[in-house]
Protein backbone atom coordinates (compact mmCIF):
# COMPACT_ATOMS: atom_id res chain seq x y z
CA UNK A 1 0.00 0.00 0.00
CA UNK A 2 1.36 3.41 -0.99
CA UNK A 3 0.66 6.15 1.55
CA UNK A 4 0.39 9.56 -0.11
CA UNK A 5 -2.47 11.23 1.75
CA UNK A 6 -1.89 13.70 4.57
CA UNK A 7 -4.16 14.86 7.33
CA UNK A 8 -4.82 18.56 7.84
CA UNK A 9 -2.83 18.27 11.07
CA UNK A 10 0.21 16.85 9.27
CA UNK A 11 0.09 19.63 6.70
CA UNK A 12 -0.06 22.11 9.56
CA UNK A 13 2.93 20.41 11.23
CA UNK A 14 5.03 20.99 8.14
CA UNK A 15 3.98 24.63 7.89
CA UNK A 16 4.65 25.31 11.57
CA UNK A 17 8.04 23.59 11.48
CA UNK A 18 9.14 25.57 8.43
CA UNK A 19 8.13 28.88 10.01
CA UNK A 20 10.02 27.97 13.18
CA UNK A 21 13.15 27.09 11.21
CA UNK A 22 13.08 30.37 9.29
CA UNK A 23 12.88 32.33 12.57
CA UNK A 24 16.03 30.56 13.77
CA UNK A 25 18.85 32.40 12.07
CA UNK A 26 21.52 30.16 10.54
CA UNK A 27 23.37 32.57 8.28
CA UNK A 28 26.67 31.38 6.84
CA UNK A 29 29.11 32.95 7.27
CA UNK A 30 29.64 32.60 10.17
CA UNK A 31 27.54 29.41 10.25
CA UNK A 32 25.25 29.57 13.27
CA UNK A 33 23.34 26.37 12.49
CA UNK A 34 23.08 24.90 15.99
CA UNK A 35 19.62 26.28 16.81
CA UNK A 36 18.16 24.84 13.61
CA UNK A 37 19.80 21.46 14.22
CA UNK A 38 18.47 21.36 17.79
CA UNK A 39 14.95 22.28 16.66
CA UNK A 40 14.94 19.54 14.03
CA UNK A 41 16.28 17.02 16.51
CA UNK A 42 13.68 17.91 19.15
CA UNK A 43 10.85 17.64 16.65
CA UNK A 44 12.09 14.34 15.25
CA UNK A 45 12.31 12.91 18.77
CA UNK A 46 8.82 14.15 19.60
CA UNK A 47 7.54 12.32 16.53
CA UNK A 48 9.14 9.07 17.67
CA UNK A 49 12.17 8.99 15.37
CA UNK A 50 15.71 8.16 16.44
CA UNK A 51 17.77 11.33 16.58
CA UNK A 52 21.29 12.53 17.22
CA UNK A 53 23.74 15.38 16.76
CA UNK A 54 27.31 15.09 15.48
CA UNK A 55 29.70 17.94 16.16
CA UNK A 56 31.43 19.08 12.98
CA UNK A 57 32.98 22.25 14.39
CA UNK A 58 32.45 24.28 17.55
CA UNK A 59 28.75 25.10 17.77
CA UNK A 60 28.07 23.52 14.38
CA UNK A 61 26.45 20.07 14.53
CA UNK A 62 25.00 17.87 11.82
CA UNK A 63 21.57 16.64 12.88
CA UNK A 64 20.44 13.07 12.22
CA UNK A 65 17.03 11.36 12.23
CA UNK A 66 16.37 7.69 11.51
CA UNK A 67 13.35 5.57 10.72
CA UNK A 68 14.66 2.05 11.22
CA UNK A 69 14.19 -0.58 8.56
CA UNK A 70 14.03 -4.34 8.97
CA UNK A 71 17.42 -4.87 7.35
CA UNK A 72 16.43 -6.34 4.02
CA UNK A 73 17.79 -3.51 1.90
CA UNK A 74 20.12 -0.53 1.73
CA UNK A 75 19.33 2.80 3.31
CA UNK A 76 17.95 5.95 1.70
CA UNK A 77 19.63 9.19 2.70
CA UNK A 78 17.43 12.28 2.71
CA UNK A 79 19.83 15.21 2.58
CA UNK A 80 19.41 18.86 3.45
CA UNK A 81 21.54 21.70 4.79
CA UNK A 82 20.74 23.89 7.77
CA UNK A 83 22.66 27.05 6.81
CA UNK A 84 21.49 29.95 4.65
CA UNK A 85 23.12 32.84 2.85
CA UNK A 86 22.74 36.33 4.40
CA UNK A 87 19.54 38.26 3.62
CA UNK A 88 21.41 41.01 1.77
CA UNK A 89 21.02 44.77 1.84
CA UNK A 90 17.94 45.11 -0.39
CA UNK A 91 14.75 45.69 1.65
CA UNK A 92 12.31 42.77 1.83
CA UNK A 93 8.52 42.95 1.67
CA UNK A 94 8.52 40.83 4.85
CA UNK A 95 11.21 40.55 7.51
CA UNK A 96 13.60 37.84 6.23
CA UNK A 97 13.56 36.10 9.63
CA UNK A 98 9.84 36.41 10.32
CA UNK A 99 8.50 33.27 8.66
CA UNK A 100 5.47 35.39 7.75
CA UNK A 101 2.51 33.69 6.09
CA UNK A 102 1.08 35.93 3.38
CA UNK A 103 -0.67 35.37 0.06
CA UNK A 104 -0.52 31.61 0.54
CA UNK A 105 3.26 31.62 0.85
CA UNK A 106 5.83 31.38 3.66
CA UNK A 107 8.36 34.22 3.47
CA UNK A 108 11.89 34.39 4.77
CA UNK A 109 15.55 33.58 4.23
CA UNK A 110 15.82 29.85 3.80
CA UNK A 111 12.18 29.32 2.86
CA UNK A 112 13.32 27.93 -0.49
CA UNK A 113 16.99 27.17 0.16
CA UNK A 114 16.32 24.92 1.89
CA UNK A 115 14.37 24.79 5.12
CA UNK A 116 11.17 23.85 3.30
CA UNK A 117 12.86 20.71 2.01
CA UNK A 118 14.13 19.80 5.47
CA UNK A 119 10.70 20.29 7.05
CA UNK A 120 8.94 18.28 4.34
CA UNK A 121 11.39 15.37 4.53
CA UNK A 122 11.09 15.15 8.30
CA UNK A 123 7.28 15.28 8.22
CA UNK A 124 7.26 12.56 5.54
CA UNK A 125 9.31 10.28 7.80
CA UNK A 126 7.05 10.97 10.77
CA UNK A 127 3.90 10.41 8.71
CA UNK A 128 5.14 7.03 7.50
CA UNK A 129 6.11 6.02 11.03
CA UNK A 130 2.62 6.92 12.30
CA UNK A 131 1.10 4.65 9.70
CA UNK A 132 3.12 1.73 11.01
CA UNK A 133 5.23 1.47 7.89
CA UNK A 134 8.51 -0.34 8.33
CA UNK A 135 10.93 0.05 5.43
CA UNK A 136 13.22 -2.65 4.09
CA UNK A 137 16.20 -0.40 4.80
CA UNK A 138 16.75 2.59 7.05
CA UNK A 139 15.46 6.03 6.15
CA UNK A 140 18.14 8.51 7.21
CA UNK A 141 17.70 12.27 7.31
CA UNK A 142 20.81 14.38 7.76
CA UNK A 143 20.82 18.15 8.09
CA UNK A 144 24.37 19.23 7.29
CA UNK A 145 26.18 22.43 8.19
CA UNK A 146 28.15 24.65 5.86
CA UNK A 147 26.77 23.86 2.40
CA UNK A 148 26.60 27.53 1.46
CA UNK A 149 30.36 27.99 1.93
CA UNK A 150 32.43 24.80 1.94
CA UNK A 151 30.12 21.77 2.40
CA UNK A 152 31.81 21.17 5.75
CA UNK A 153 29.03 18.99 7.12
CA UNK A 154 28.80 16.86 3.98
CA UNK A 155 32.53 16.24 4.03
CA UNK A 156 32.36 15.23 7.69
CA UNK A 157 29.46 12.86 7.00
CA UNK A 158 31.41 11.22 4.18
CA UNK A 159 34.68 10.96 6.08
CA UNK A 160 33.06 9.61 9.27
CA UNK A 161 31.31 6.70 7.53
CA UNK A 162 27.89 8.31 7.35
CA UNK A 163 27.35 7.07 3.79
CA UNK A 164 28.11 3.44 4.59
CA UNK A 165 25.15 1.25 3.65
CA UNK A 166 23.40 4.03 1.74
CA UNK A 167 22.00 2.88 -1.60
CA UNK A 168 20.29 6.07 -2.77
CA UNK A 169 20.47 9.78 -1.96
CA UNK A 170 17.56 12.18 -2.32
CA UNK A 171 18.55 15.82 -1.83
CA UNK A 172 15.74 18.18 -0.86
CA UNK A 173 17.11 21.32 -2.53
CA UNK A 174 14.48 23.42 -4.35
CA UNK A 175 13.43 22.09 -7.76
CA UNK A 176 9.84 23.37 -7.95
CA UNK A 177 9.00 19.68 -7.42
CA UNK A 178 10.68 18.68 -10.68
CA UNK A 179 13.03 15.69 -10.67
CA UNK A 180 16.66 16.78 -11.07
CA UNK A 181 19.28 14.05 -11.61
CA UNK A 182 22.13 16.36 -12.65
CA UNK A 183 23.68 19.68 -11.74
CA UNK A 184 26.71 21.64 -12.85
CA UNK A 185 29.96 21.73 -10.93
CA UNK A 186 31.86 24.76 -9.64
CA UNK A 187 35.54 25.64 -9.73
CA UNK A 188 36.27 28.85 -7.84
CA UNK A 189 39.63 30.50 -8.40
CA UNK A 190 41.43 33.34 -6.67
CA UNK A 191 43.79 35.25 -8.99
CA UNK A 192 46.47 37.36 -7.30
CA UNK A 193 48.57 39.70 -9.43
CA UNK A 194 51.66 41.42 -8.03
CA UNK A 195 53.40 44.27 -9.82
CA UNK A 196 55.58 47.22 -8.87
CA UNK A 197 54.61 50.47 -7.14
CA UNK A 198 55.37 53.81 -8.78
CA UNK A 199 54.10 57.38 -8.72
CA UNK A 200 50.82 57.77 -10.57
CA UNK A 201 52.35 60.50 -12.75
CA UNK A 202 55.04 58.08 -13.94
CA UNK A 203 53.21 54.79 -14.58
CA UNK A 204 55.94 53.64 -16.96
CA UNK A 205 58.21 53.16 -13.92
CA UNK A 206 55.84 50.68 -12.31
CA UNK A 207 53.99 47.46 -13.15
CA UNK A 208 50.25 47.94 -12.75
CA UNK A 209 48.74 44.80 -11.24
CA UNK A 210 45.18 45.99 -11.88
CA UNK A 211 45.67 46.50 -15.60
CA UNK A 212 47.43 43.18 -16.07
CA UNK A 213 44.87 41.22 -14.07
CA UNK A 214 42.09 42.92 -16.03
CA UNK A 215 43.79 41.70 -19.20
CA UNK A 216 43.91 38.14 -17.87
CA UNK A 217 40.21 38.35 -16.96
CA UNK A 218 39.47 39.52 -20.51
CA UNK A 219 41.37 36.54 -21.88
CA UNK A 220 39.40 34.21 -19.63
CA UNK A 221 36.11 35.77 -20.72
CA UNK A 222 36.98 35.13 -24.35
CA UNK A 223 38.26 31.61 -23.74
CA UNK A 224 36.07 28.73 -24.91
CA UNK A 225 36.95 25.81 -22.68
CA UNK A 226 36.11 22.51 -24.40
CA UNK A 227 33.05 20.57 -23.25
CA UNK A 228 30.44 18.11 -24.43
CA UNK A 229 26.86 19.41 -24.56
CA UNK A 230 24.67 17.88 -21.85
CA UNK A 231 20.99 17.09 -22.47
CA UNK A 232 19.85 18.50 -19.11
CA UNK A 233 22.42 21.16 -18.24
CA UNK A 234 23.22 24.65 -19.45
CA UNK A 235 26.66 25.12 -21.05
CA UNK A 236 29.64 26.00 -18.85
CA UNK A 237 29.85 29.60 -17.66
CA UNK A 238 32.35 31.97 -16.11
CA UNK A 239 31.70 34.87 -13.75
CA UNK A 240 34.12 37.38 -12.23
CA UNK A 241 32.71 37.72 -8.73
CA UNK A 242 35.03 40.19 -7.01
CA UNK A 243 38.02 42.36 -7.77
CA UNK A 244 40.09 44.61 -5.50
CA UNK A 245 43.42 46.32 -5.84
CA UNK A 246 45.51 49.42 -5.37
CA UNK A 247 45.99 51.72 -2.40
CA UNK A 248 45.54 55.25 -3.78
CA UNK A 249 44.58 57.09 -6.95
CA UNK A 250 48.04 58.50 -7.55
CA UNK A 251 49.91 55.23 -6.92
CA UNK A 252 50.53 52.49 -9.48
CA UNK A 253 48.84 49.42 -8.02
CA UNK A 254 51.28 46.69 -7.06
CA UNK A 255 48.60 44.16 -6.07
CA UNK A 256 45.19 43.11 -7.36
CA UNK A 257 42.98 40.16 -6.41
CA UNK A 258 40.00 38.79 -8.33
CA UNK A 259 37.78 35.77 -7.78
CA UNK A 260 36.32 33.77 -10.65
CA UNK A 261 33.47 31.25 -10.67
CA UNK A 262 33.67 28.58 -13.37
CA UNK A 263 30.55 26.39 -13.70
CA UNK A 264 31.22 23.07 -15.38
CA UNK A 265 29.39 20.12 -16.89
CA UNK A 266 30.11 16.39 -16.71
CA UNK A 267 33.18 15.46 -18.72
CA UNK A 268 35.15 18.59 -17.93
CA UNK A 269 38.27 17.94 -15.87
CA UNK A 270 38.75 20.56 -13.16
CA UNK A 271 42.45 19.84 -12.97
CA UNK A 272 42.84 20.46 -16.69
CA UNK A 273 40.82 23.68 -16.44
CA UNK A 274 43.02 24.89 -13.59
CA UNK A 275 46.15 24.18 -15.59
CA UNK A 276 44.76 26.04 -18.59
CA UNK A 277 44.11 29.13 -16.46
CA UNK A 278 47.61 28.90 -15.00
CA UNK A 279 49.06 28.59 -18.51
CA UNK A 280 47.22 31.76 -19.56
CA UNK A 281 48.57 33.56 -16.49
CA UNK A 282 52.10 32.39 -17.30
CA UNK A 283 51.72 33.61 -20.88
CA UNK A 284 50.75 37.07 -19.64
CA UNK A 285 53.57 37.13 -17.09
CA UNK A 286 56.07 36.34 -19.85
CA UNK A 287 55.16 39.59 -21.60
CA UNK A 288 55.50 41.85 -18.54
CA UNK A 289 58.80 41.84 -16.59
CA UNK A 290 58.17 42.30 -12.88
CA UNK A 291 54.66 40.83 -12.99
CA UNK A 292 53.65 37.78 -10.94
CA UNK A 293 50.27 36.02 -10.99
CA UNK A 294 49.21 33.23 -8.65
CA UNK A 295 46.13 31.09 -9.29
CA UNK A 296 44.61 29.35 -6.27
CA UNK A 297 41.58 27.05 -5.97
CA UNK A 298 39.12 28.13 -3.27
CA UNK A 299 36.29 25.73 -4.08
CA UNK A 300 36.22 22.57 -6.17
CA UNK A 301 32.80 20.92 -6.55
CA UNK A 302 32.44 18.40 -9.37
CA UNK A 303 29.20 18.08 -11.34
CA UNK A 304 26.59 15.55 -10.27
CA UNK A 305 25.02 13.28 -12.86
CA UNK A 306 22.73 10.30 -12.49
CA UNK A 307 21.66 9.15 -15.96
CA UNK A 308 18.02 9.98 -16.76
CA UNK A 309 17.29 6.31 -17.43
CA UNK A 310 18.80 5.16 -14.12
CA UNK A 311 16.37 3.11 -11.97
CA UNK A 312 16.51 5.74 -9.19
CA UNK A 313 15.41 8.50 -11.56
CA UNK A 314 12.67 6.33 -13.02
CA UNK A 315 11.46 5.32 -9.55
CA UNK A 316 11.36 8.88 -8.27
CA UNK A 317 9.60 10.13 -11.38
CA UNK A 318 7.02 7.34 -11.24
CA UNK A 319 6.38 7.71 -7.51
CA UNK A 320 6.03 11.50 -7.66
CA UNK A 321 3.81 11.24 -10.73
CA UNK A 322 1.45 8.85 -8.97
CA UNK A 323 1.37 11.02 -5.85
CA UNK A 324 0.63 14.18 -7.85
CA UNK A 325 -1.51 12.69 -10.61
CA UNK A 326 0.88 13.96 -13.30
CA UNK A 327 4.45 13.08 -14.21
CA UNK A 328 6.99 15.69 -13.08
CA UNK A 329 9.50 17.26 -15.42
CA UNK A 330 13.04 15.88 -15.45
CA UNK A 331 15.68 18.61 -15.79
CA UNK A 332 19.07 19.81 -14.62
CA UNK A 333 20.05 22.49 -12.09
CA UNK A 334 22.50 25.35 -12.36
CA UNK A 335 23.48 25.31 -8.68
CA UNK A 336 25.57 22.70 -6.88
CA UNK A 337 24.68 20.68 -3.79
CA UNK A 338 26.31 18.64 -1.05
CA UNK A 339 26.05 15.79 -3.56
CA UNK A 340 29.24 17.06 -5.23
CA UNK A 341 31.17 15.95 -2.15
CA UNK A 342 29.74 12.44 -2.42
CA UNK A 343 30.20 11.70 -6.12
CA UNK A 344 33.28 9.55 -5.53
CA UNK A 345 31.17 7.09 -3.51
CA UNK A 346 29.20 6.03 -6.60
CA UNK A 347 25.81 6.39 -4.90
CA UNK A 348 23.02 7.50 -7.29
CA UNK A 349 21.66 10.95 -6.43
CA UNK A 350 18.41 12.72 -7.29
CA UNK A 351 17.39 16.23 -6.25
CA UNK A 352 13.71 16.86 -5.50
CA UNK A 353 12.30 19.56 -3.29
CA UNK A 354 9.77 22.35 -2.80
CA UNK A 355 10.38 25.93 -3.83
CA UNK A 356 11.29 27.80 -6.99
CA UNK A 357 15.07 27.56 -7.25
CA UNK A 358 15.14 30.93 -9.05
CA UNK A 359 14.23 32.53 -5.69
CA UNK A 360 17.21 31.01 -3.87
CA UNK A 361 19.59 33.68 -2.52
CA UNK A 362 17.13 36.39 -3.65
CA UNK A 363 15.30 39.06 -1.65
CA UNK A 364 11.70 38.12 -0.81
CA UNK A 365 12.49 34.39 -0.81
CA UNK A 366 9.23 32.49 -0.30
CA UNK A 367 7.61 29.11 -0.87
CA UNK A 368 3.93 28.30 -1.55
CA UNK A 369 2.22 26.50 1.31
CA UNK A 370 0.58 24.19 -1.23
CA UNK A 371 4.01 22.94 -2.30
CA UNK A 372 4.88 21.88 1.24
CA UNK A 373 2.13 19.26 1.39
CA UNK A 374 2.87 18.09 -2.13
CA UNK A 375 6.54 17.68 -1.26
CA UNK A 376 5.71 15.60 1.81
CA UNK A 377 3.48 13.31 -0.25
CA UNK A 378 6.16 13.05 -2.92
CA UNK A 379 8.82 12.03 -0.38
CA UNK A 380 6.47 9.46 1.15
CA UNK A 381 5.78 7.89 -2.23
CA UNK A 382 9.47 7.82 -3.18
CA UNK A 383 10.49 6.20 0.10
CA UNK A 384 7.84 3.52 -0.14
CA UNK A 385 8.77 2.62 -3.70
CA UNK A 386 12.49 2.50 -2.96
CA UNK A 387 12.25 0.57 0.29
CA UNK A 388 9.14 -1.57 -0.31
CA UNK A 389 8.13 -1.39 3.32
CA UNK A 390 5.76 -3.44 5.40
CA UNK A 391 2.45 -2.18 6.86
Note whether 165 and 52 are same-domain residues: yes
- Considering 267, 301, 335, which residue would you say is the last residue of a domain? 301
Residue positions annotated with a catalytic role: 83, 147
Report if residue 3 sits inside a domain: no
**Number of separate domains in the chain:** 2
Mean pLDDT value of segment 61-70: 97
pLDDT tens digits, one per residue of 18-62: 999 999 999 999 999 999 999 999 999 999 999 999 999 999 999
| 347 in a structural domain | yes
In this structure, the answer to whether residues 91 and 237 fall within a common structural domain is no
Contact of 339 with 169, CB cutoff 8 Å: yes
> Both ends of the chain: CA-CA distance in Å?
8
**390 confidence band (pLDDT: 50, 70, 90):** low
Q: What is the pLDDT of residues 241-278, one digit of tens each?
A: 999 999 999 999 999 999 999 999 999 999 999 999 99
Mean per-residue pLDDT over the chain, rounded:
96
Residues 281-306 have pLDDT tens digits of 999 999 999 999 999 999 999 999 99
Residues 197 and 90 both lie in one domain: no
Strands in 105-107's sheet, in edge-to-edge order, are 101-102, 105-107, 366-368
CATH number at 79 reads 3.40.630.10
- Answer yes or no: do 194 and 237 share one domain: yes
Phi and psi of 352, rounded to 5°? Answer: -155, 120
The answer to whether residues 215 and 338 belong to one domain is no
Taking a C-beta distance cutoff of 8 angstroms, is the pair 366, 111 a contact?
Answer: yes
CATH code of the domain covering residue 202:
3.30.70.360
What is the rounded average pLDDT of the residues 78-91?
97
What span, in angstroms and rounded, lies between the C-alpha atoms of 366 and 81?
17
The reported pLDDT for the residue numbered 85 is 97
Kindly state whether residue 27 falls inside one of the protein's structural domains: yes
Q: How confident is the model at residue 1 (pLDDT cuts 50, 70, 90)?
A: low
In the structure, what pLDDT confidence band is assigned to residue 389 with cuts at 50, 70 and 90?
Answer: low
Q: What is the C-alpha to C-alpha distance for residues 184 and 235, in angstroms, rounded to an integer?
A: 9
Residue 135 and residue 25 share a domain: yes
- Final residue in a domain of this structure, among 301, 318, 339: 301
Domain that holds residue 35: 8-183+303-387
Asked if residues 195 and 257 have their Cβ atoms less than 8 Å apart, the reply is no
SS3 content of the chain, % helix, strand, coil (to 5): 35, 25, 40
Q: Are residues 358 and 269 in the same domain?
A: no
Same domain, 172 and 218: no
Amino acid sequence: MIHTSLSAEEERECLDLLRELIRLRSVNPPGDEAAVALALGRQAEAWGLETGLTSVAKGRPNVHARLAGHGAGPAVLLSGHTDTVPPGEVPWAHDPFSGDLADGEVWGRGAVDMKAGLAAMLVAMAALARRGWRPAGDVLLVGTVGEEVDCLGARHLRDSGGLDGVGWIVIGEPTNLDVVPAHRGALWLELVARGKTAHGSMPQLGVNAILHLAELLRWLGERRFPYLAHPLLAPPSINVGTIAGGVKTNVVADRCVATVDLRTVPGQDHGALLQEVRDLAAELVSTAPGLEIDVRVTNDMPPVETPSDHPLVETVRTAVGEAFGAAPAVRGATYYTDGSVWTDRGIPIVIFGPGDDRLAHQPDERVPVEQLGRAVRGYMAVLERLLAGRD
